[in-house]
């Protein structure tokens, strides 16, 4: 009998897919959600972009994981930073040049 040496294979997470802003079935968040919660939603949905909706659940914008990560990793970050703050930064010329 021949012994077979087995080694565990490394299986990484599935690649993050981008959400199509025209597809209403993608993950949606409100702009008052915190950055940490939005990042957790992205991780669990395995997407790289979230649709941002208003109080009436109407799509108003989108935000990427990269945009949220830049803000989260910044020196001014606190756990009170909201998705709307990231959107405001993105609208400021030169602040964040990323989009879905």
Q: In what order do the strands lie in the sheet with 49-53?
A: 28-30, 49-53, 59-64
Q: What is the DSSP string of 26-95?
A: S-EEETTSBHHHHHHHHHHHTBSEEEEE-TTS-EEEEEEHHHHHHHHTSTT--TT-BHHHHHHHHHSTTT
**What is the per-residue pLDDT for 26?**
74
pLDDT tens track for 9-26: 433 444 444 545 455 567
Q: Which of 19-23, 30-34, 58-62, 89-93 is least confident?
A: 19-23
pLDDT tens track for 36-79: 999 999 999 999 999 999 888 888 999 999 999 999 998 888 98
Q: What is the pTM of this model?
A: 0.68
């Amino acid at each position: 009998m021949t012994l077979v040496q087995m080694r565990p294979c490394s299986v990484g997470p599935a690649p993050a897919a981008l959400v199509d802003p025209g597809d209403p079935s993608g993950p949606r968040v409100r702009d008052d959600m915190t950055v940490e919660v939005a990042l957790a939603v992205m991780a669990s949905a395995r997407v790289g972009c979230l649709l941002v909706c208003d109080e009436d659940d109407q799509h108003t914008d989108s935000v990427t994981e990269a945009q949220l990560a830049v803000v989260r990793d910044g020196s001014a970050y606190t756990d009170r930073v909201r998705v709307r703050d990231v959107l405001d930064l993105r609208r400021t010329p030169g602040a964040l040049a990323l989009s879905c």
